[in-house]
Chain A
Amino acid sequence: MRLLSGDRSRNTDASDHDWRRPLLALAAITAAATLSACTLFSYSPTPLPSEAPTPQPTSSASPAQPASCGNPLASYQPSDPLPKPDALPNGSTMSKIKKRGRLVAGVSADTYLLGSRNPFTGEIEGFDIDMVKAVAKAIFGNEDRYQLKVITAAQRIPALENGDVDIVARNMTINCDRWKQIAFSAEYYRSGQKILVRKGSKAKSIDDLAGQKVCAPIGTSSMDNLIKKAPKAIPVGADTHTGCLVLFQEGQVAAITGDDTVLAGLAAQDPYAVVPDQRSFTEEPYGLGFNSSDVDFVRFVNARLDDMRSDGEWTSIYNRWLRDSLGPAPKPPIPVYGRTR
Chain B
Amino acid sequence: MSQASQQVGTAEVIAPPSSAAGAATATPPSASPASVSPQPDSASSGRLAKAAAAINQMSTPQRLRLLSLGVVVVGVVIGVVGALIFASLASSLSRAKADTAQLIRVQKIQSNLLSADATATNAFLVGGLEPPVQRAAYDQAISGTSALIAEAAQAQPADGAALSALNQQVLSYAGMIEQARANNRQGLPVGAQYLRNASAQLRNDALPILDNLVTTNAARATDEMKAGPGYVVVVIGLLALAGMITAQVWLARRFKRRINVGMLASSIVLFVVVVGSLIVVLQLRSALNDISSGSLAAVNTAADARINANNAKANESLTLIARGSGQAFETAWKSSADSVSEGVGRLSDRPELASQWQAYTDVHTQIRALDDGGQWDKAVARATGSGQNSSNTVFGEFDGNLAGYLDGVSQDASSSLATQQPVMVVAAILLLLGGLAVTLLGRRGVAERLREYR
Contact = CB atoms under 8 A, between A and B. Distances in A.
Contact of A109 (B5, B188, B205, B323): B323
Contacts of A30: 79-80, 83-84, 87, 432
A45 B160 CA distance: 8
Given A2-B5, A43-B220, A48 B212 contact: yes
B443 A52 contact: no
Contacts, number: 165
Residue among A10, A27, A30, A46 with max Cβ neighbours from chain B (10 Å):
A46
A150 B324 contact: yes
A22 to B, nearest CB: 5
Interface in A2-31: 2-3, 5-7, 9-11, 18-19, 22-23, 25-27, 29-30
B8 A240 contact: no
Contact of A22 (B95, B197, B439): B439
Given A18-B440, A19-B440, A25-B76, A119 B128 contact: yes
Contacts of B156: 43
A52 B325 contact: no
A147 B1 CA distance: 117
A269 B189 contact: yes
Interface string B181-210: 001110111111110010000001100110
Given A6-B1, A269-B188, A47 B323 contact: no
Contacts of A52: 204-205
A116 B188 CA distance: 9
Contact of A48 (B80, B161, B440): B161
A5 B212 CA distance: 69
B75 A22 contact: yes
Contact of A26 (B185, B194, B435): B435
Interface in A32-52: 33-34, 37-38, 41-49, 52
B193 A155 contact: no
Interface in A99-124: 101-102, 104, 106, 109-112, 116-122, 124
Contacts of B2: 6, 9-10
Given A37-B88, A45-B162, A47-B216, A6 B5 contact: yes
Contacts of A147: 324, 374, 376
A242 B179 CA distance: 13
* Interface size classification for chain B: 35 or more
B436 interface: yes
A117 B192 contact: yes
Interface in B150-192: 156-162, 165, 179, 183-185, 187-192
Contacts of B76: 22, 25-26, 29
A182 interface: no
Interface in B436-450: 436, 439-440, 443, 447-448
Contacts of A155: 325
A148 interface: yes
Given A22-B440, A43-B220, A119-B191, A101 B374 contact: yes
A119 B324 contact: no
Interface in A231-253: 240, 242-243, 245-246, 249
Given A5-B1, A22-B439, A269-B183, A47 B192 contact: no
A97 interface: no
A46 B183 contact: no
A2 to B, nearest CB: 5
* Interface size classification for chain A: 35 or more
B91 interface: yes
Contact of A18 (B197, B209, B322, B443): B443
Contacts of A37: 84, 87-88, 91
B14 interface: no
Residue among A7, A26, A270 with max Cβ neighbours from chain B (10 Å):
A26
B127 A121 contact: yes
A269 B186 CA distance: 9
B63 interface: no
B324 A49 contact: no
B197 A246 contact: yes
Contacts of B26: none
Contact of A34 (B87, B159, B193, B436): B87
Nearest to B124: A119
A309 B439 CA distance: 110
B327 to A, nearest CB: 9
Given A18-B440, A26-B76, A27-B432, 12 more contacts: A6-B1, A6-B5, A26-B432, A43-B156, A45-B159, A46-B161, A119-B192, A122-B377, A148-B324, A149-B325, A246-B197, A249-B179
Per CB-CB distance, the 3 closest pairs between chain A and chain B, nearest first, are A149-B324, A43-B158, A49-B208
Interface of B: 1-2, 4-6, 8, 72, 75-76, 79-80, 83-84, 87-88, 91, 95, 125, 127-128, 156-162, 165, 179, 183-185, 187-194, 197, 204-205, 208-209, 211-213, 216-217, 220, 322-325, 374, 376-377, 380, 432, 435-436, 439-440, 443, 447-448, 451
23 contacts: A9-B2, A23-B436, A26-B76, A26-B79, A30-B83, A44-B158, A45-B160, A46-B212, A47-B212, A48-B161, A48-B209, A52-B204, A101-B374, A109-B192, A117-B323, A118-B187, A119-B192, A122-B127, A150-B325, A151-B324, A242-B190, A242-B192, A269-B183
